[in-house]
Amino acid sequence: MGESVFLHQELLRFVSDCLSCAGVPRDDADWTAHTLVRADVWGRSTHGVSRLLAYVRGIERGKINPTPSISVTRTAMATVTVDGDDGLGPVVAKVGMEHAILCAKESGVGAASVRRGNHAGALGIYTAMAAQEGFVALAFTNAQPAIAPWGGSKAFFGTNPIAMSAGRGDQQITVDLATSVVARGNIILAAKEGKPIPEGWAMDERGVPTTDAKAALSGAVLPMAGPKGYSLALLVEVLAGVLSGSAVGDQVGSIYDDRPEAPDTGMFFLALNPEMFGGRQLFESRLFEMEEEIHHAPIADGVDQIYLPGERKREMAREREASGIPLCAQTVAELEQLAQQFSLRVPKIHQGEQS
């Protein structure tokens, strides 16, 4: 299927308007729109505007609270706990990271444990936010069951992503990865588009390897690097789920199913203040030196350039912010559905159909 290209600001406005029509306060709608569109700008369409319909339907089913009373408790100089009141995941996650940063400013280290969250999108958005202020940041979240324990056939852990950011501007490194061999969003997108998935991504509900995206959603995604990915998924579950008091493992819900219960997603955010270790200036200079050494390392045959994690996203972001953001036909159809529901106008297609 083809793609259609939309201007950045017009898409932001439309996504925010949809969320506002669904009952989300404008500031929260704007931030959530930013996180969804930012994922598309970075080339992470699985975590982008393709999630908007699910967010709106989650609000309508009572799984997502559009106007949460988020509570933050300072439990020590360096720690806070956050109760997200089942609010939009991006809104709850932002509060968690902001308070981890506040603690780190005072104590050198800040940790925020979050319960009653929701799907928060691309975690690198929150770590990048902290890094831009000069911090080193990590983020973890559990999710609906997707990965089976190593040797098992039934999904128990979520794809349980891990993100880390350090540095500012064009020197920023952002690592953002699922502990599964592929983000579950890739399989959701393939199922929407009626496309098969590659071998080695998933197994069906009987534990048999499959290339059928819909069968994979009923089964389990394979962990990255075999037992190592399983171990990382477990690590995230301890930090995001067990520690926070949120749902754990196969008890974590989904914004996609028809059950009325909220997912009760857990998250964990950590911010480190370089000023209270070796000093911020020394940290940033050493980080830059390391990046330069990596860039100038010998390259393998057939490779033009060594990239640092996050560099390609920045390049793509500059291009898409200037020339437009491509969305697949299925996502465009969902935007049209929401536009009709809320009596809104879908943004004008900027460059027609793309192959």
Query: Which residues participate in catalysis according to the annotation?
Result: 119
Q: Which residue has the tokens 């997200």?
A: 84
Cβ-based neighbour number of residue 295 at 10 Å? 13
DSSP state of 148: P
Q: Show the beta-strand stretches assigned E in the chain.
A: 3-6, 71-76, 79-83, 109-117, 136-141, 162-166, 173-177, 202-203, 209-210, 220-221, 265-272, 325-328, 349-354
Pairwise CA distance, residues 246 & 264, whole Å: 6
| Residue carrying structure tokens 């020394």 | 282
Could you give the 3-state DSSP secondary structure of residue 76? strand
Please report, in angstroms and rounded to a whole number, the separation of the first and last CA atoms in the chain.
Answer: 8
